[in-house]
Amino acid sequence: MSVDQRGAQEPQGPQVGADEWVARQAHRREYLPSWLGRAQRASERIGWWPRLALAGLAGAVLPSFGLGGFQLQVGIDALVIALLAVGLNIVVGWAGLLDLGFIAFFGFGAYGFALLSSAQIGSAGIHLQAWLSIPIVMVGAAILGLGVGLPSRRLIGDYLAIVTLFLGEAFVEFTNNVAPSKLGGPNGITSIDPIRAFGFQLTTNPGYYYLLVIVLVVTMAVLRLLENSRTGRAWRAVREDPLAAAAMTIPVNRVKLSAFACGAMVAALAGTIYAAQQANVFPTDFDTPILILIYAGLVLGGAGSIAGAATGALVVMVIYDGLLRSPAEAGYLFYGLVLLTVLVKLRPWRRLGVVLAATIAFGFAARAIARAASASAVAGGPGSSGWIARAVRDWVIVPANATVAGNFGFVALICLLIALVQVSSRWRTILLPPTLYLASFVWETRLVTEPSVTRQLMIGAILIVMMNARPQGLLGQRRVEVPA
């Protein structure tokens, strides 16, 4: 067979071993499992720009479904984190630079706006209008980004992570301790002006909500244009292989610096709006836990994908803040998530049914045994409220002294979950009902009563589970890494 003949064959549908058809279908592996994947494929037929427009529209229309004051604040916080995640995506997702001090740019933006729009500096203070102060702060952040990026020239991966982490911590220490009269020390800066421009003023929460939706949509659009431009290609090439990129005319260091600068500008933008809306800033607003939130959003949604970053951050923030609301709503979230996971992962349907039935039976049996053994073992009531509490009251064991038992249960649950991942499929089916029951037990005794801790546990769990199970996130592309 001559060489030319082989190359000119037309693909004729599935042929085992012929790489043409496989190559054409390879993209089908990228989607989420089962019906989620079908939804993904359907949405992709719409096209990126129409999807962005639809999402923006949905976001704008959402408040009119009767969002209360608290929910609107949650929405605002979620949008701010989404904007931050989209900015972080430039640095981590595209250029592959693990910046653990990203939060410092957010803080710079917030403090910068605060200093320029309050009574803090000088006798009467500077009260620049937003259309002046925001660009100034963004440019300042870009310069700071260049400064932070300079060490990255000589640092690879892990070292860069440490140095940026320290710079992030240094920012908190700096604003906490240095020049307290100007920067406010631990008490921060208060009475920051709202966003003012050309006679207009934004003073209401709905106003900031709409502003954030617009800013997020515009930023995502700008980044999409950048992604497919020469700059975006250079960023991604630098992530893939800096040595090869340099051999292909790309000035690697300059490109890395531009990634830092762009990410910093987006973060600073988010910071300015945040400062204006909150009307005050404190050093602890920009500490590492917030950074971890942004990373959780980025990792969940998918680093490398603009839509992924925004979606992941929105989901994380809604759950994170949602867990602080009434125990009933938190219960919906918890039981809903558990059931969803089981529904998606457990096949065939018969197995799913057996596991659910077994869980319920196991619960009643365990409770009966516990009640027979000791009355105080079931004396307490479930921590949830609403119809969930009524539903599980006679099913889940809640002792009188819930805290200690719940703590032991928590440790046992972690061990069981680890075991679940390790064992074979048959053992997994057997272990699942007790694990589900134990999860409900721990939820009702401990987790639902301490929402502020539970939500942190959830963030940590997201990071661990996503990296192990689906590192490309929900909407990201699977990456192939060649060992260096």
Partner 1 sequence: MSFFFQELVNGVTTGALYSLVALGFSMVYGVLKLLNFAHGDLYMVGAYIGFFVIQWFGGAAHLTIPVPLLLLIMFVLAAGVVGGLGVAMERFAYRPLRDAPRIAPLITAIGISFFLESAALLLFGAQYRVYNTAEFISLSSGIQIGSVTIDSVQIMVLVLGIALMAGLRLLVNRTKLGKQMRAVAADREAAEMLGINVNFVITVTFFLGSALAGVAGVMGGLLFNQVTSTIGFIAGLKAFTAAVVGGIGSIPGAMLGGLLIGLAESFVTGYISSTYTNLLVFGLLIVVMLVRPSGLLGQAQLQKV
Partner 2 sequence: MSEANQGQSVSAGPGEAVLELDQLSLSFGGLKALSGLDLTVRDREVISVIGPNGAGKTTVFNVITGVYEPSSGDVRFAGQSIAGRAPHVIARAGIARTFQTLRLFMNMSVIENVMAATYGHTKAMPWESVLRLPRARREEREVRTLAEEVLSFFGQRLAGYRWDQPAYSLSYANRRRLEIARALASRPRVLLLDEPAAGMNPAETHEVTELIGRLRDERGVAILVIEHDMHVVAGCSDRVVALDHGVKIAEGGFDQVASHPAVVEAYMGRHPEDLAEAE
Interface region with partner 1, contact rule CB under 8 A, candidates 4-12, 30-38, 127-135, 153-161: 153-161
Instruction: Catalogue the E-assigned strands of 173-293.
Output: 195-197, 200-202
246 binds, among partner 1, partner 2, none (CB under 5 to 8 A by kind): partner 2
Buried b (16+ CB within 10 A) or exposed e, 296-327: bbbbbbbbbbbbbbbbbbbbbbbbbbbbeeeb
Number of other CB atoms surrounding residue 102 within 10 Å: 32
In 3D space, the residue among 88, 108, 83 whose CA is nearest the CA of residue 100 turns out to be: 88
Contacts with partner 2 in 217-256 (CB under 8 A)? 222, 225-226, 229-231, 233-234, 236-237, 240-241, 243-252
Alpha carbon 242 to chain centroid, angstroms: 28
Q: Is 375 in the site for partner 2 (CB under 8 A)?
A: no
| Polymer length in residues for the chain | 484
The minimum distance between CB 37 and partner 1, in angstroms, equals 23
The minimum distance between CB 270 and partner 2, in angstroms, equals 18
Question: Exposed, middle or buried by CB within 10 Å (0-12, 13-18, 19+), for 483?
Answer: exposed
> Which two three-digit tokens encode residue 95?
């250029």
Contacts with partner 2 in 4-23 (CB under 8 A)? 6-8, 19, 23
Q: Is 483 in the site for partner 1 (CB under 8 A)?
A: yes
Q: Is 256 in the site for partner 1 (CB under 8 A)?
A: no
Of 258 and 384, the one with the shorter C-beta distance to partner 2 is 258
Q: Is 462 in the site for partner 1 (CB under 8 A)?
A: yes
222 binds, among partner 1, partner 2, none (CB under 5 to 8 A by kind): partner 2
Unique residue bearing structure tokens 């949405």: 43
List, as one string, the DSSP characters of 389-411. Answer: HHHHTTTS---SSHHHHHHHHHH
Unique residue bearing structure tokens 């200690």: 404
The minimum distance between CB 237 and partner 2, in angstroms, equals 4
Angle at CA of residue 39, ends 34 and 45, nearest 5°:
130
177 binds, among partner 2, partner 1, none (CB under 5 to 8 A by kind): partner 1
* CA–CA distance, 463 with 469 (Å, rounded to integer): 10
Of 239 and 446, the one with the shorter C-beta distance to partner 2 is 239
CA distances from 225 to 21, 150, 195, 212, 219 (A): 32, 26, 28, 20, 10
Q: Is 459 in the site for partner 1 (CB under 8 A)?
A: yes
Q: Which residues of this chain interact with partner 2, rule CB under 8 A?
A: 3, 6-8, 19, 23-24, 26-27, 222, 225-226, 229-231, 233-234, 236-237, 240-241, 243-252, 258, 262, 477, 479-482
Q: Which residues of this chain interact with partner 1, rule CB under 8 A?
A: 92, 96, 98, 100, 151, 154-159, 161-163, 165-167, 169-170, 173-174, 177, 243, 288-289, 292, 295-296, 299, 407, 410-411, 414, 418, 421-422, 446-447, 450, 453-454, 456-457, 459-464, 467-468, 471, 479, 481, 483-484
